[in-house]
Amino acid sequence: MDLYEHQARELFEGHGILVPRAEVATSAEEARACAERLGGRVIVKVQVKTGGRGKAGGVRRAADPPAAELAARRILGMDIKGHAVRAVMPAQPVDMESEFYVSYAVDRASGRFLAIASAEGGADIEDVAATRPDAVGRVPVVPAEGVSRHKAAEIAAAAGLPAEAVGTLTALWNVLIREDALLVEVNPLVRTPQGQLIALDAKVTLDDNARFRQARRGVQETTYDDEHEAAAAAKGLTYVKLDGQVGVVGDGAGLVMATLDVVAGRGARPADFPDIGGGASAQVMADGLGVVLSHPCVTCVLVNVFGGITACDAVADGIARALERVRLTKPLVVRLDGNNAARGRAILDACAHPLVEQVTTMDGAARRAAELAHAAPAV
């Protein structure tokens, strides 16, 4: 579960990390009132769960409350990488003399955490990492050992951070562990002329498997920028909206990721990342297909299922059920293999829907979906 910046900064503040004073506004008039309470001059920051917000025009300086209202009016309603802007965060500006980058993330390949830090933070950190990887320090962290002050000093030295960053590095580690997070990131962490370290940005991804603990600690369920993601979440589905034209439905995250790669390899762009799960019922299949078909940019849909726990006849039944509820206007390419595949194919054959086409291999199904996507009129 990704948090909005204002939610993440509240966690930071609760663990002793300095952040600028800020408030959240959902209208231009509220933004003006926030600026008045914050002293007049503010930075108006868009609140969406994606990077590159500043480059997209979602971060604006305002010299006074009227300027804050104007900035919010321009930002609210924007679409940033598919995320609708419904809130902004006016924050007090901070004088800074240097910018740093710091993050902790799960390194699944090694079964450890990875601290990533650089003395050259800011909007161009991706370019720094790509062109001068030696400017970015990467230090593995053993979960059982954690980040002591000694380990924090090692991380700071590897990245060229000042010695005073040690306290912030240990506090960020506490956020990661005590809040059950998978990712904690600050870009930029700035040093003021007075020597204070302040987190100007905050990004936190919480572990969904620990929601029962997070609920006890008062962590509120997050909202969704995108209506399709919200609809999927309401049905208990894992769904991420992308910017392509081929809708994808699969059972299991690994198979879905492989399907996205194969679709891209055939020259088409996936429109979503949905996972109906390894034990999905016919109802779950119908729900997932309904969400994918509602994506306005989808020109065709590829259903790729390898029956294991999920039997292919249940998947086919879900597709048939969805076709009864949804008026299908886009081609549907289906590949069923594994448990009860023959029975599933027979169910779809019996439907005899003119827009449903079956292909026996994943590569062949991706190729056909790409062909249909390219042949469809531009959306």
Taking the C-alpha atoms of residue 199 and residue 339, their distance in angstroms, rounded to an integer, is 51
Q: What is the pLDDT of residues 283-325, one digit of tens each?
A: 777 788 888 888 888 999 999 988 877 789 988 888 888 888 7
Q: What is the pLDDT of residues 2-61, one digit of tens each?
A: 899 999 999 999 999 999 999 999 999 999 999 999 999 999 999 998 878 888 889 999
More confident residue, 213 or 140: 140
**CATH value of 227-375 in 3.40.190.10, 3.40.50.261, 3.30.1360.20, 3.30.360.10:** 3.40.50.261
Residue ranges covered by each domain of the chain: 21-91, 98-216, 227-375
Residue 224 has pLDDT above 70, yes or no: no
Q: What is the mean pLDDT of residues 348-369?
A: 94
What class has domain 98-216?
A: alpha beta
Min mean pLDDT across 89-103, 148-162, 207-221 is at 207-221
Sign of the Cα torsion 44, 196, 136, 115 reads negative
DSSP class of residue 209 equals G
Taking the C-alpha atoms of residue 233 and residue 375, their distance in angstroms, rounded to an integer, is 32
Using left for φ > 0, alpha for ψ between -120 and 50, and beta otherwise, residue 10 falls in alpha
**Mean of per-residue pLDDT scores for the chain:** 87
- Check: CB of residue 373 under 8 Å from CB of residue 300: yes
CATH topology of domain 21-91: Dna Ligase; domain 1 (3.30.1490)
Percent of the residues in the chain that have a pLDDT greater than 90, as a whole number? 57
More confident residue, 55 or 364: 364
Catalytic residue ranges: 101, 185
pLDDT at position 200 is: 94
> What is the CA 73 to chain-centroid distance, rounded?
25
pLDDT-derived band at 216 (thresholds 50, 70, 90) equals low
pTM, rounded to two decimals: 0.65
Closest CA to 81 of 97, 116, 57, 98: 57
DSSP class of residue 160 equals T
- Check: CB of residue 32 under 8 Å from CB of residue 90: no
The helix (run of H) or strand (run of E) holding residue 29 is helix 28-37
Preceding amide of 193 cis, omega within 30 = no
Residue 327 has pLDDT above 70, yes or no: yes
Distances (CA, A) of 212 to 1, 205, 216, 217, 223: 13, 16, 7, 9, 17
pLDDT at position 121 is: 83
pLDDT at position 379 is: 52
pLDDT-derived band at 240 (thresholds 50, 70, 90) equals confident
Residue 217 has pLDDT above 70, yes or no: no
Angle at CA of residue 56, ends 51 and 58, nearest 5°: 85
Closest CA to 185 of 240, 260, 129: 129
Q: What is the mean pLDDT of residues 264-271?
A: 92
More confident residue, 228 or 279: 228
Distances (CA, A) of 15 to 31, 99, 174: 27, 21, 7
